[in-house]
Amino acid sequence: MFSKDRNRDMTSGPLFVNILMFSLPIMAMNILQLLFNAADMVVVGRFSGKEALAAVGATSSLINLIVTLAMGFSVGTSVVIAQNYGANKELELNRSVHTSIAISVISGFIVMVIGLLFCKPLLEMMGTPNDIIHLSVLYMRIYFVGIPATMVYNFGAAILRAIGDSRRPMYYLVIAGIVNVVLNLIFITQFNMSVDGVAWATTISQFISATLILICLYRSHGAIRFIPKQLRIHKQQLKDIMRVGIPAGLQSFLFSISNVLIQSSVNSFGSTMVAASSASSNIEGFAGTTVNAYYNAAISFTGQNMGAKKYDRIDSIAKICTILVFVTWFIVGGALMVFGKQLLGIYSSDPVVIELGYMRMRIMMMLHFTNGIMIVFPGLTRAMGYSILPMLSTLVGACIARIVWIYTVFAWNPTPFTLFICYPVTWALAGMGQVAIFLYARKQIRKRNTIEIQSVTA
């Protein structure tokens, strides 16, 4: 039988309390991860200057572009394991665990090679300013050495979250993050390193978090226990994971392409604008990453209830996650609007960087709740078994819309305001599409359930 001492039964009990208690550790984990990333940028910005800050910031959209396709497979892991867990399918669950870990290792090494080989030409294609491109290349090459570990941690965390354990992944990230911050300070202040010191600190911490998550799974009981000698890819489980993971990965990949185009446009304003945008983006992440916790909750809760065939609870999950998105936007977004300049001042003392960064932040926070809707509802839909439709909605509502915006509105009036305003506009478009797709999927699930009941009673 399953060991549920650390896990959460998502198919019974009060949903609001359970969703909130499940989301809080993920939210804390995401915030801590952002704080550790912020520490990277603060240390490098304060001790190595705005050029080093801009160099690290200029890589984020490109790193996401290269990594997100493989990371999308972890969404497939979450859905498949949650459904197997909810349906009490022990053999399928065990095979899914080992298949997921195998995928993480293989995809990690593939992404690492791609990043090492193509980071420089891609940065050049993005128009990265000449005064920082050598630092950006150095940072990315060291960073990608740790990508296999990043993949293992994220897939392992997806396994634990799918069975209701959102705390232990947070604990391991805290340990790795503290190591990251300490190594940042040692490498930069004691060894006079620059972006290379930040990159090595990040890479080392990634291997620590991956090791901890593997030890956790190895010491687990029941069907989720990871046994190294059983590591292999099972065809059916691979098919199930890819069915959800490939569209999710493609959605993230296409989304990243649009962000790369925006970053290229930011680069056209010079390294000062790059530094300002990078600092603001890092701070804005605190609003986005808290919402991401509800996305993970939507996947796990909906997946388990789908497995248990408790379809009526899915509507309540959607309503609760939507309420939490609005509350989070009001609290976190409001705080960033009020204290934005002070927070930007932590990254850089340059008044121009602070002013430009605050301009971007005000635009982004204005309708940030639409970003939450765009993020959460695909989780609900994917966990119900519909993964291609959310990808198409993001493709049209966000990716294509942003590309059109850049080559029309921004081309006609190339200012930072017209560039950054495309974010809330496209969030709203994609968000409306994701809600419509959820309603369609819910209707299809109810139809299928009615047919199943009729066939049983006939």
Radius of gyration of the chain (CA): 22
- For residue 3, the model assigns a pLDDT of 44
Burial class (CB in 10 A: 0-12, 13-18, 19+), 447: exposed
Count CB atoms within 10 A of the CB of residue 20: 16
- The parts of the chain modelled with pLDDT lower than 50 are 1-5
* Nearest residue to 381 (alpha-carbon basis) of 367, 371, 391, 396: 391
* Nearest residue to 305 (alpha-carbon basis) of 94, 87, 122: 87
Per-residue pLDDT tens over the stretch 101-150: 999 999 999 989 998 998 888 888 878 778 888 888 998 899 999 999 99
Per the CB < 8 A criterion, the answer to whether 431 and 377 are in contact is yes
37-61 CB burial, b ≥16 within 10 A, e <16: bbbbbbbbbbbbebbbbbbbbbbbb
Residue 367 CA to residue 456 CA, distance in Å, equals 47
CB-based contacts of 49, cutoff 8 Å, min separation 6? none
- For residue 410, the model assigns a pLDDT of 92
Q: Spell out the domain ranges in the chain.
A: 15-457
- For residue 215, the model assigns a pLDDT of 95
CB-based contacts of 186, cutoff 8 Å, min separation 6? none
Residue with tokens 């809330």, as numbered in its chain: 424
Per-residue pLDDT tens over the stretch 56-71: 777 777 777 777 767 7
The pair of three-digit structure tokens given for residue 200, joined into one six-digit string: 């090595």
Per the CB < 8 A criterion, the answer to whether 170 and 28 are in contact is yes
Residue 319 CA to residue 174 CA, distance in Å, equals 31
* Nearest residue to 44 (alpha-carbon basis) of 139, 146, 126, 129: 139
Count CB atoms within 10 A of the CB of residue 124: 12
Residue 165 CA to residue 430 CA, distance in Å, equals 30
Per-residue pLDDT tens over the stretch 394-436: 888 888 898 899 999 999 999 999 999 999 999 999 999 999 9
